[in-house]
Structure 1
Amino acid sequence: MNKINWDDLKFFITLYESNTVSVAANRLNVNYATVSRRIDRLEDALKLKLFDRTKDGFVSTIEGTLLYESSVGIREKITNLKEELSPNSRFNQNVKISMVPFLAEYFVIENLHNLHRRFPELRLDIESSSRNVNLSKLEADIALRMELPEKGESICKKLGAIDYVIYGNKYWLNKLANNESVNIITYTTAFSHLQECKYLIKKFSTKAIRVQTDSVSAQKKAASSGYGIALIPRIVLDVTETNFVQPTEEVKRDVWMLTSKKTASHTPKILIMEELAKIFSQELAIRQSALATP
């Protein structure tokens, strides 16, 4: 143990959490060879094999998992110690937030700017993605999702509910109002389990589908271009837009904020989580009520 370079543990922890050397190197801002060399040196010092090298990446051995569970707390203690010893730099940390694209594009980024003005040294790494990031492996510090994870040890907090409306140009909305056949724009098959997708298919059937995409922005663009109607979140509309109606059955989806126990105690993360809770509590209802059905 006396031969261990303790900085190598940072490389080990990062690789354990990311599974691949390339991802670990990117997170650590070093090259591929540096990560590989550090892991080899740590294994030599411990006389243990910490990873099995496979075609799918680096898979931890039992010894690697035991070392991770024993050493991951060191990182948290060092981070907390840095905050205590250098209070002026406690906000100068990268905070990665993962969220579905429409939340980033139409709501969160613009509203988080007030916090950034107060703490300009904060660094936000916003991943706009529908994939479920692994918080326990620190693929993100905070995640905003439209449904709760089926497994994991995330800390979850409900932030609010998003209303959905039927959007389209006047031609298709008139056909809808007259109970005529309409074309629909919805998600790709991979997202057919979503509530908004189920509503459209149940009401209009799969035969009515003309455009499928995994992007709310693309669905909105397709609807405004005349491909048909789409069921989209109310908050993606401009306050001046009137080409939408309420669905016959109310469609709402909850927004959840998820984090892990490993990051929930860090000052920058706490600031951002508190700000996100305030934004959804104060701004979401205002934004949705401003878009009253015409």
Structure 2
Amino acid sequence: MQQVDWSDYQVFLALAQAGRTGDAAHLLGVDSTTVSRRLKRLEHALGAVLFERGRDGHQLTEAGETLFDEVSTMARAASRIEDSAEGDGGLGGTLRISVSEGFGSWFLARHLPDLADAHPSLTIDLVASSGFLNPSKREADIAVMLSRPRSGQLIARKLSDYALRLYATQDYIEQVGKPQTPLQLTEGHRLIGYVPELVYAPELVYLDELHPGLKATLRSSSINAQHRMIAQGAGLGVLPCFIGDSDPRLIQVLPHHMILRNFWLVTHADTNTLARVKTGKDWLLQTVAANRNVLLSGASPG
């Protein structure tokens, strides 16, 4: 077997995690051609086909699965060596945090500079998107999820409850009227919400909790797009209070009808005790605890 460059293994890991050449290239900060070239070089050196290529992206072959386990173990060992070598010199390396789009862009992003200032040698990736990266596949060091995972070598603890309510603009209320009961939402109101087929977590299904059978007719897979449509007066929609109450254009509708959800802090058992992961977890717990009123009522940050 030919000698293999460690960077080729890193490309292999990224592609196994991302599933697509373009996504792996984005994770690594290179172009897709580089990913393809290094994968071809690795497969040639090992004398094995590591991926099956299909319309759904790259899927690991049996040889690829075996290599993934071995290289993941090597990567974790390298992380521990890097972790212990940092010593008193401060945290280094990369900490990747995966969160939902709304929580990341409306809550976490405003506080993340505090963590960066405390650890200037640490590179922090905030992946805020529709869906979550998977700690089981080493796609993220920390994930904030909407439910407790039931499988995999994961460690989970509840981070916080958060509240959601129905919002609209004052202009919309003046033009269409303000519903006084959930039943009145069925009477001439346009509802804004998720595309049912694209909901990535059942916890994002809200409208039935206000009134059975409610359906959104203006829909988006993005909570930020939903917020924008609600704020433009296009209709009524459910938003987390940390989004809705931070926008002065919006008012609560049926304020006594609150929907409650949970955030869960999730890490992989093998990396849970790494210094940068532990630091990230502790910071998240402290930040959320200090701003719990924002998550539960939308009050100004403390």
Q: Secondary structure at the match of 2:278?
A: helix
Q: Give CA-to-partner distance per residue, 1:189-221, whole Å, 9 cap, x none.
A: 233953423224527x33xx4522233333334
Q: CA deviation at 1:273?
A: 1.4
* Structure of greater Rg: 1
Q: 1:289 to 1:16 in 2, by over 3 A?
A: closer
**Aligned match for 2:208, one of 174, 194, 198:** 198
Amino acid at match of 1:98: S
Cα distance in 2 for partners of 1:66, 1:261 equals 20
| Residue 211 (1) aligns with residue 218 (2) | yes
Q: 1:182 to 1:143 in 2, by over 3 A?
A: farther
Match of 2:259 in 1: 251
Cα distance in 2 for partners of 1:33, 1:17 equals 18
Q: Give CA-to-partner distance per residue, 1:87-115, whole Å, 9 cap, x none.
A: 46663322222222211222111122222
Match of 1:291 in 2: 299
Match of 1:176 in 2: 179
Q: How many positions carry a matched residue from both structures?
A: 288
Q: CA deviation at 1:41?
A: 4.1
Match of 1:141 in 2: 141
Q: Give CA-to-partner distance per residue, 1:45-69, whole Å, 9 cap, x none.
A: 4444433444544432222222322
Do the aligned partners of 2:51 and 2:59 also contact (CA within 8 Å) in 1? yes
**Aligned match for 1:226, one of 233, 242, 245:** 233
Q: Give CA-to-partner distance per residue, 1:146-175, whole Å, 9 cap, x none.
A: 223464443222111111222223463863
Amino acid at match of 1:69: D
Match of 1:12 in 2: 12
Q: 1:247 to 1:80 in 2, by over 3 A?
A: same
Do the aligned partners of 2:168 and 2:250 also contact (CA within 8 Å) in 1? no
Match of 1:156 in 2: 156
Q: Secondary structure at the match of 2:212?
A: helix
Cα distance in 1 for partners of 2:292, 2:100 equals 16
**Aligned match for 1:272, one of 280, 284, 288:** 280
Amino acid at match of 1:229: L
Amino acid at match of 1:254: N
Cα distance in 2 for partners of 1:239, 1:24 equals 36
Q: Quick check: 87-96 or 153-162, which moved more?
A: 87-96
Q: Give CA-to-partner distance per residue, 1:229-259, whole Å, 9 cap, x none.
A: 2222111113867721455543101111222
Cα distance in 2 for partners of 1:32, 1:84 equals 33
Q: 1:218 to 1:233 in 2, by over 3 A?
A: same
Q: Give CA-to-partner distance per residue, 1:114-171, whole Å, 9 cap, x none.
A: 2222112322222221223232223322222222346444322211111122222346
Q: 1:74 to 1:253 in 2, by over 3 A?
A: same
Do the aligned partners of 1:210 and 1:227 also contact (CA within 8 Å) in 2? no
Q: Which runs of 5+ in 2 are unaligned?
A: none
Q: Which runs of 5+ in 1 are unaligned?
A: none
Q: 1:31 to 1:143 in 2, by over 3 A?
A: same
Q: 1:25 to 1:230 in 2, by over 3 A?
A: closer
TM-score for the superposition, normalised by structure 1: 0.81
Match of 2:64 in 1: 64
Do the aligned partners of 2:17 and 2:139 also contact (CA within 8 Å) in 1? yes
Amino acid at match of 1:232: L
Q: 1:83 to 1:167 in 2, by over 3 A?
A: same
Do the aligned partners of 2:293 and 2:299 also contact (CA within 8 Å) in 1? no
Cα distance in 2 for partners of 1:82, 1:291 equals 41
TM-score for the superposition, normalised by structure 2: 0.79
Once the two structures are aligned, what percentage of the paired residues are identical? Answer: 24
